[in-house]
Amino acid sequence: MMTQKPGALPARPTFSSGPCAKRPGWSPENLNLSPLGRSHRSSIGKARLKEAIDRTRALLGVPDDYRIGIVPASDTGAVEMAMWSMLGARPVDMLAWESFGQGWVTDAVKQLELEARVLEAPYGEIADLGAVNPEHDVVFTWNGTTSGVRVPNADWVAADREGITICDATSAIFAQPLDWLKLDVVTYSWQKVLGGEGAHGVLILSPRAVERLETYAPPRPLPKLFRLTKGGKLNESIFEGATINTPSMLCVEDYIDALTWADSLGGLEALHGRADSNAAMLGAWVENTDWVDFLCAEPSIRSNTSVCLKIVDPDVLRLDEAGQRTFVKSMEKCLAAEGAAFDIGSYRDAPPGLRIWCGATVETSDIEMLGPWLDWAFAEAKVEI
């Protein structure tokens, strides 16, 4: 099989699922550098952190009585903070259909030793959402970054639930509509979807989550980075810009720049539309390509950000898993050498295949350009088997 090398390259070949592509037109010259070298506790530092929080609330439509805080250690830190601080008051349902969900299961079962019920599904599928017990707490990923599977909506979360819902929304936020009244804890990292820099997380708490924090003392030591209360009450300063530890003010400015860009497009609806358009463009190529298919077969639960693909060519499928991973790496190497696409292999714990980021900071025209390059790279790699 020979395929001619395409003539035109994507303008921006950054299709990584994290850190993700910077916004179109991004330049360091666009950033406000006045807070750099200043304390994050100075008046300008606190003001910029508060602006990041306020812009987040406005863009996402977070209810006024929900708290928003910037926390350490990316989305992982935000999820861990919630789990260690809040879980244990009642049984918990742990939902897992990809590697990050499995990581939260490990923490709940082996580290925190909670009374946990694990509801799992293999890569490409979703757990039985109808089996979630409203008397239990629940921890789940809204969008499985490593599987390309998302929950279709929050209808399965009971409005009169007794437990709290902890939602890892890091590759869904800004790209998919969230039902805030069904979610008590929402976490994300701005390195996803808006293309921010790594190491910072965002933690959003409902009044029910705050009540849990103020009425439940977990039977375990809490590291300083996990402590959200002081004297039995929520430490409100965290949610007003007084971060627990020192943040990068450069990363904060980069996040504010991305939020400002999103506002200039028309806000959240425009971001959703861009991700949907990108995913649709990639989907059209998949439908017309015989060597590849979606890892997630069901369209209603298929991600519009971290789109995961499997290679279905019979010759490649005859290879063992190690051989299939080598094949994908060969494709990646060809694409990177041409400057056509970077970092598009599947996650290390996921089945061998490709993962193309289709979030709002990616241009649909670049997704369109990518298809022929994937065909070419596949043909190049197949010559070697």
Give me the sign of the Cα torsion angle 311, 316, 319, 322: negative
**Residue 118, strand partner residues:** 94
Give me the sign of the Cα torsion angle 351, 352, 357, 363: negative
pTM for this prediction:
0.97
Pick the CATH number of 28-263 from 3.30.365.10, 3.40.630.30, 3.40.640.10, 3.40.50.300: 3.40.640.10
Q: Which amino acid, 325? A: R
| pLDDT tens digit sequence for 349-363 | 999 999 999 999 999
Please give the Cα distance from 377 to 13 (Å, whole number).
14
| pLDDT tens digit sequence for 169-194 | 999 999 999 999 999 999 999 999 89
Q: Where are the alpha helices (DSSP H) in the chain?
A: 43-60, 74-86, 99-106, 207-215, 249-265, 268-287, 314-317, 321-338, 364-382
pLDDT value at 1 more than 70:
no
Report CA-CA distances (Å) from 161 to 103, 135, 142, 164: 25, 6, 18, 7
What top-level class would CATH report for the domain 266-382?
alpha beta
pLDDT value at 2 more than 90:
no
Please give the Cα distance from 359 to 278 (Å, whole number).
7
**Residue 293, strand partner residues:** 310
Average pLDDT for residues 87-108, to the nearest whole number? Answer: 97
Domain boundaries, the chain: 28-263, 266-382
| pLDDT tens digit sequence for 124-172 | 999 999 999 999 999 999 999 999 999 999 999 999 999 999 999 999 9
